């Protein structure tokens, strides 16, 4: 493969990824709760957690994200979506936590964050 063809292929791939991520920030992403909970429980990070409690936590976080989604900035959503997908098992709990720590996730009533 010639160098220019390779560079073109890489650029097309990057643009496609950026476009998909941009579209993903328009609505709460769809995560596989079952898969995430299996991963959490098999990794030992959910000490004392059951599949039922993990799924309930994920569903609650997803339900909380939906009405608040428009409050968060597009840039913050993009960063947090990428962050929660790093390990291959994205989580609504992680996404909500990440977004709540961003500038757009804080409200005036919460005051400044140290």
The whole-model pTM stands at 0.70
HSE-up of residue 94 (Cα within 13 Å, Cβ side): 20
Q: Cα angle vertex 53, ends 47, 57, to 5°?
A: 105
pLDDT tens for each residue of 22-80: 455 789 999 999 999 998 888 766 667 899 999 999 999 999 999 999 999 999 999 99
3-state SS assignment for residue 93: helix
pLDDT tens for each residue of 10-24: 444 444 444 444 455
CB neighbourhood size of 84 (10 A):
22
CA distance 114 to 85: 27
In this structure, are residues 65 and 80 in contact, taking their beta carbons and an 8 Å threshold?
no
Read off the tokens for 33: 């709760």
CA distance 54 to 2: 49
Q: What single-letter DSSP state applies at residue 41? A: H
Map out the domains of the chain as residue ranges: 3-104
Q: Which residue is it, tokens 């990057």?
A: 14
């Amino acid at each position: 493969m010639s160098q220019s063809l390779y560079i073109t292929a890489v650029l097309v791939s990057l643009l496609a990824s950026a476009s998909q991520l941009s579209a993903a920030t328009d609505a709460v992403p769809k995560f596989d709760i079952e898969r995430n909970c299996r991963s959490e429980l098999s990794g030992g990070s959910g000490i004392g957690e059951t599949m039922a409690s993990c799924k309930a936590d994920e569903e609650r976080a997803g339900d909380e994200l939906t009405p608040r989604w428009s409050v968060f900035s597009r840039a913050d959503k993009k960063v947090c979506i990428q962050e929660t997908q790093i390990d291959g098992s994205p989580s609504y709990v992680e996404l909500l936590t990440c977004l709540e720590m961003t500038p757009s996730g804080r409200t005036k009533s919460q005051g400044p964050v140290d």
